[in-house]
A and B are shown apart, each in its own frame.
Chain A
């Protein structure tokens, strides 16, 4: 009984942690969308900024991956 309660806690925690991945998706969308808006205003400058775009995407996404990792740890490793 006690173990089942703990498992339940684990799964609920994992579910909450998974929300973080979704929030990271918002961040990634923000980065890409703003880049696109800027690129459409000044297409000639867009080519040189793709590296910056990808760095920004990577930083935003890394935090989502951390949340996902917490979810996985709760599911399988705790």
Chain B
């Protein structure tokens, strides 16, 4: 209730107004009815655009199947080679079976991240709900895979046979905790980074309302925007690489 008061006060004041969180509001595309689970919303719109961009880059761009690639085709090939090498290097040759799934994650995150950098856009990956589905999906899939591939031997991941016997139970407890924190940090890292960047841009944009500060504000927005272009890629990369690391742990828990 107190927060409601604070937020409403902020809206009612003139001049310097901060609405850094308004960009994350989910609203229906048609009319203003309630947001049911099937309602087409701005989430739908921007996810749909991400799908369209994916199709344009990876299907239309490679249509020619050229031996000497066009520019778009070489971007698609570069992404393919980059992620394939990452999966193979980290998860090993057996991990290459899961390459399409990991590549889907990477492409989805990088497309939504970059589309979210368009002004007035909506960023689906800034929402905990979306990234938690990704993070917990990876967590559940990888844990299930570990048990299917290795059976109870998978629990050896928590039992450090190199450590002194006295310390092993303590280490096991720490390992179990850190294992269950993985999906939380995995999803919050992505959502938090994207949300933080967009919020900071909005806060600086609010300062542009004061004439004396507006040049500084514009410069700051440009600088943060540049950083965000970098972060959009790095977060997609980090999410993918951590997925590969978790996959490796599931495939080879012993080492």
- Please report A residues at the B interface, Cβ cutoff 8 Å: 3, 6-7, 10, 51, 54-55, 57-59, 61-62, 65-66, 68-69, 72, 76-78
Contacts and interface: CB of A to CB of B under 8 A. Distances in A.
A18 to B, nearest CB: 11
A-B pairs, 6 with minimum CB distance: A65-B192, A58-B238, A62-B189, A62-B185, A6-B2, A68-B196
Given A51-B241, A58-B241, 9 more contacts: A10-B2, A54-B234, A54-B238, A57-B238, A62-B185, A62-B189, A68-B196, A78-B2, A78-B3
A77 B237 contact: no
A78 B240 CA distance: 33
A76 B7 contact: yes
Contacts, number: 54
29 contacts: A7-B5, A7-B6, A10-B2, A10-B3, A51-B90, A55-B238, A55-B242, A55-B245, A57-B234, A58-B189, A58-B238, A58-B242, A61-B189, A62-B185, A62-B188, A62-B192, A65-B189, A65-B196, A66-B185, A68-B192, A68-B196, A69-B188, A69-B192, A72-B195, A76-B3, A76-B7, A76-B21, A77-B3, A78-B2
Contacts of B185: 59, 62, 66
B2 A7 contact: yes
A6 B238 CA distance: 38
A57 B34 CA distance: 41
Interface of B: 2-3, 5-7, 21, 86, 89-90, 185, 188-189, 192-193, 195-196, 199, 234, 237-238, 241-242, 245
Contacts of A69: 188, 192
A68 B5 CA distance: 22
Contacts of A61: 189, 193
A66 B189 CA distance: 8
B241 A54 contact: yes
B94 to A, nearest CB: 18
Contacts of B238: 54-55, 57-58
Contacts of B195: 72
A62 B196 CA distance: 12
A51 B88 CA distance: 13
